[in-house]
Amino acid sequence: MTAPPLDVRHIAAALPDPDADLAFLLAEVDWDDRIRARRTASFGTPYNYSGHHYDPAPMPPRIAAIAAIAATHAGHHYDNCLANRYDTGEHTMGFHRDSYEGLVPDSAVAIVSLGATRTLVFRGEDRAHRAEIVLEHGSLLLMTAETQRHWTHAVPRAAGVGLRCSLTFRRFAVVRPASASDR
Ligand SMILES: O=C(O)CCC(=O)C(=O)O
Ligand SMILES: [Fe+2]
C-alpha cells in the first residue's frame, strides 16, 4: 500500500527573533533528563510523551508568543508545548508518530526549530517512501493528523552538529464535564 502524499507545510523564518527565543530556552528552562536521547520540557496542558508524565506548567510568555504564531499558520490555537533539546548531533529522536490521545483529532502538530540545522526524516507506512525536510533556525513545520497516521518521523544522528532545540505544539480536546442536559 502506498502512503498518501506527505502533507506538511514548512515556513522558513517564521519567528521575529529566534536568537532571543533560543537564549531564553537555554537560560530559563529547567530541562528534564528522563529520556536518554535528548532533554525535554513541557508547558501548558500536560502531554504524556514517550511513556513519561509531565505536570501541568504555565506557558512562559515568550513560548506563548511562539504558540500564537504557530496558531495563525495552523488556523487553531495550541495549549501544549513539548520542548526538545539536542545538545549535540548525537542526540536524536527515533521514528515515531505523535500520539493523538487527548488531542483534537484533525489538529496539526507544529515544530518550531531553534539553533543548529537538523534534518527531519519521514518514512511512509509502506517503508518504501522517504522524505527529508531540513529544519533551520526560526522555521515552522506543520504536520497534519492524516500525515501522522501514514508516515513516521525521526531526527537522526548528525555528525559534528551543535545544539538545537525544537518546540512542538499540540492542541488538546476540551474535556467537557457532564452536565444535567447530557443525561
Ligand atoms: O525535534 C524535532 O524536530 C522533532 C520533534 C518531534 O517529532 C516530537 O516532539 O514529537
Ligand atoms: Fe514527533
Number of H helices, E strands in the chain: 3, 10
Q: How far is the CA of 152 from the centre of ligand 2 (A)?
A: 8
- Give yes or no for residue 114 CB within 6 A of ligand 1: no
What spacing in Å lies between the alpha carbon of 110 and ligand 2's midpoint? 9
C-alpha closest to that of 97 among 129, 49, 163: 49
pLDDT at position 4 is 79
The model's pTM is 0.94
Distance 153 CA to ligand 2 centre (A): 6
Q: State the Cα–Cα distance between residues 104 and 174, nearest whole angstrom.
A: 8
- Say yes or no: CB of residue 116 within 6 Å of ligand 1: no
What is the pLDDT, as a whole number, of residue 143? 98
- Which ipTM did the prediction report? 0.99
Q: For residue 125, how far is its CA from the centre of ligand 2 (angstroms)?
A: 15
As a whole number, the mean pLDDT across the chain is: 93
What percentage of the chain reaches a pLDDT higher than 70? 93
* Model confidence at 88: pLDDT above 90: yes
Q: Nine-digit cell at 90?
A: 548525537
59: cell is 506557558
Give the position, in ligand 1's atom list, of the atom nearest the Cα of 109: 10
**Residue 177 in this model has a pLDDT that exceeds 80:** no
* pLDDT tens figures, 30-53: 999 999 999 999 999 988 877 888
Q: Quick check: 66 and 167 in contact, CB under 8 A?
A: yes
Q: Which pLDDT does position 22 carry in this prediction?
A: 98
Q: Report the C-alpha gap between 80 and 48 in whole angstroms.
A: 11
118 class by beta-carbon count within 10 Å (0-12 exposed, 13-18 middle, 19+ buried): buried
Question: In angstroms, rounded to a whole number, what is the distance separating the alpha carbons of residues 150 and 23?
Answer: 35
Instruction: Check if 153 has its Cβ closer than 6 Å to any atom of ligand 1.
Output: yes
